[in-house]
Amino acid sequence: MSTQSIHYLKPVALCLAPGIPESPSRHRRHTLPASEFRCLTPEDAASVFEIEREAFISVSGTCPLYLDEIRHFLTLCPELSLGWFQEGRLVAFIIGSLWDEERLTQESLTLHRPGGRTAHLHVLAVHHTFRQQGKGSILLWRYLHHLGSQPTVRRAVLMCEDTLVPFYERFGFYPVGPCAITVGSLAFTELQCSLRSHASLRRNSNC
């Protein structure tokens, strides 16, 4: 999937009065979009892990993906990831891979199965300085539309703690029962989402 289908907002250039010099920081802003959504690459892995580590280890003591696993998925299936960059800085991201079974298993945590029709969302995280601003919601909505534009991907699946179930239900996910995967003492609910409605919205969008 080409990253050209991920749209971004371009900054509006400000005109200075004649004779007023531009600052160095202004030149920098000319080279970086104010807000950009794009698929991630292995070169983004360190920034991804920095955000993920801060978001998860302080809460649960573990990360959904560690640095080698992040690089692994961003090498095999970068088209199933999406990052939100502001002024060139990563502020939020989602990483996924393909899965080919009805329910998630322990293997789904580390495998990408190219023939699968299910996108497994491994992790969604927002940089701590940008939380409580609705960025996770915006990113997830764009990500599901992005998946909906890929004809071979029919649904999305993820696992989360019970307190997060209402958040994902707002985007069309529905619980299918307890997840077979546990991490230490943590238990999860498995949720699925059909991508048909998101594909329809994508086709009918002028964006």
User: So which residues are the catalytic ones?
Assistant: 97, 111, 122, 124, 168
Per-position b or e across 120-136, b if 16+ CB within 10 A of its CB: bbbbbbbbeebeeeebb
Alpha-helical regions (H) of 67-156: 67-76, 135-148
The count of other CB atoms within 10 Å of the CB of residue 147 is: 25
Q: Strand order of the sheet with strand 35-38?
A: 35-38, 81-86, 89-99, 118-126, 155-160, 186-194, 174-183
Nearest-10 Cα torsion for 147, 94, 87, 142: 30
Are 91 and 36 in contact by the 8 Å Cβ rule? The answer is: no
Q: Are 97 and 115 in contact (CB under 8 A)?
A: no
Among 119, 120, 101, CA closest to 109: 120
